[in-house]
Amino acid sequence: MIEVAVNGYGTIGKRVADAVCKQPDMRVAGVAKTRPNFEASAAVKKGFDLYAAIEERKHRFEEAGIEIAGEVTELVEKSDVVVDACPSGVGADNVSMYRRYDTPALLQGGEDAEAVDASFNARANFEAVAGADIVRVVSCNTTGLSRLIAPLREAYGVRKVRVTLVRRGGDPAQSNRGPINDILPNPVSLPSHHGPDVNTIFPDLSIDTLGLKVPATLMHMHSVNVTLGSQPNAEAVRELLEAERRTFVIPEWLGLEGAGAITELAQDAGRPRGDIWENCIWGESLSMVGPDLYLFQAIHQESDVVPENVDAIRAVLETTSRERSVERTNAAMGLDEPLTPTRM
């Protein structure tokens, strides 16, 4: 069994911990929290051993009546791998601790690529992180783009990618985020950081990205144009993307008009927390104009990186192949169970 520590038990950390629990070859060694709050309470209820991330604040857990198993350094030392899901920047600060205890660690997309030995996406570069010490599971947007670009490159070649990312202002629980009633070019100057981030996965890819922020919390939306190396018809591209394991090509008959309806679909399908682990690509939007492919896809920012973290654990520890890992992760999480009764 791979013993997995989760340091930073928030939006991403709690989802990764749940996904790890479901894997036949992994268990959660413990989770580290900075303070007792509703998420600490949920961790205890799930039976996870709780470790204090900040020694001086240990007493706060005791005062709240929450039992602590130890300090984060003890958790790091006894684990085979750490998933660090701390807020952006904190993960990089933690790297020296992981190196000190010689425990490989997975950081998240909010960290700079320079803070890590390699960046990871299961579909695109699983093998590239074998044996690495500090790896970054790329952001939700970069994960969504990498899953799309990898099969297109393999099937047709890609000459140029252009993406406009309409980004949610914050996650549902981030009450301090905005905009509240505005539409922001963000960043206002080109390129947005997303293109260079995709280049950490595909270094030779020509990609331009623009970003906006809107007052929404549900998902990100990508307006994508890919100039392909050949000219397949739209139906062939659709079949290619339907055959992928972490893309969901939305059938027209579902009548999913936006992110809100996708979220409802996931909740109706019984997905935990209404999570949508796949890229959601509108089938009707898939169009070819000469060598140019156009499409819209929605990305659930809180959950698409979760199966990627699970695969990254096996990739770093070199316990199995990409195909086997993805198959195992999907089966254990229920990602292979279609969101709809039939895939059309």
Contact segment (CB under 6 A) with ligand NAD among 97-105, 107-115, 123-131, 271-279 equals 107-115
Coil, strand or helix at 79: coil
- 218 binds ligand NAD per the rule CB under 6 A: no
Q: How far is the CB of 93 from ligand NAD (least distance, A)?
A: 7
* Near ligand NAD in 60-89, by CB under 6 A: 85-88
Q: According to the binding rule CB under 6 A, does residue 192 interact with ligand NAD?
A: no
Strands 158-168 and 207-214: parallel
DSSP sequence for 93-161: HHHHHHHHTT--EEE-TTS-GGGSSEEE-HHHHGGGGTT-SEEEE--HHHHHHHHHHHHHHHHH-EEEE
Looking at 4, 7, 161, 307, which residue binds ligand NAD (CB under 6 A)? 7
The 10 Å CB-count burial string (b at 16+, else e) for 188-201 is eeeebebbebbbbb
Q: Segment 280-319, which members bind ligand NAD (CB under 6 A)?
A: 301-302, 305
Closest CA to 277 of 305, 250, 258, 257: 305
CB of 87 to ligand NAD, least distance (A): 5
Binding residues for ligand NAD restricted to 17-36, rule: CB under 6 A? 32, 34
**If we measure between CA atoms, which residue out of 315, 258, 277 comes closest to residue 121?**
315
Among 25, 39, 71, 74, which residue interacts with ligand NAD (rule: CB under 6 A)? 39
Task: Tell me the helices (H) and strands (E) count for the chain, helix number first.
Answer: 12, 16
Q: Indicate the residue among 219 and 315 with the shorter CB distance to ligand NAD.
A: 219
Quote the least distance from Cβ 145 to ligand NAD, whole Å: 13
CB closer to ligand NAD out of 33 and 153: 33
> Which one, 293 or 312, has the nearer CB to ligand NAD?
312
Number of residues lying near ligand NAD (CB under 6 A): 27
Query: Which CB, 70 or 110, lies closer to ligand NAD?
Result: 110
- According to the binding rule CB under 6 A, does residue 110 interact with ligand NAD? yes
Task: Find residue 304's DSSP bridge partners.
Answer: none
Max Cα-Cα span within the chain? 66
Candidate residues 36, 109, 211, 274; the one interacting with ligand NAD per rule CB under 6 A: 109
Q: What order of strands is seen across the sheet that includes strand 50-52? A: 70-71, 50-52, 26-33, 2-7, 81-84, 105-107, 134-137, 118-120
Q: Least distance from C-beta 228 to ligand NAD, angstroms?
A: 28
Q: Does 48 bind ligand NAD (CB under 6 A)?
A: no
Of 11-19, 115-123, 239-247, 327-335, the segment contacting ligand NAD by CB under 6 A is 11-19
Place of tokens 């009633």: 181
Rounded Cα distance between 234 and 289, Å, is 9
- Closest contact distance (angstroms) between CB of 300 and ligand NAD is 9
CA distance 67 to 240: 50
- Rounded Cα distance between 201 and 212, Å, is 23
Residue 140 catalytic?
A: yes
Q: Which is nearer to ligand NAD, 53 or 339 (CB)?
A: 53
Q: Which of 90, 92, 210, 276 touches ligand NAD (CB under 6 A)?
A: 90
- Report strand pairing: 292-299 vs 287-289: antiparallel
Binder of ligand NAD out of 8, 30, 36, 211 (CB under 6 A): 8
Return the structure tokens found at 308: 């990627």
Burial class (CB in 10 A: 0-12, 13-18, 19+), 217: middle
Which residues carry out catalysis?
140
Which residue ranges make up the site for ligand NAD (CB under 6 A)? Answer: 7-13, 32, 34, 39, 53, 85-88, 90-91, 108-111, 139-140, 171, 301-302, 305
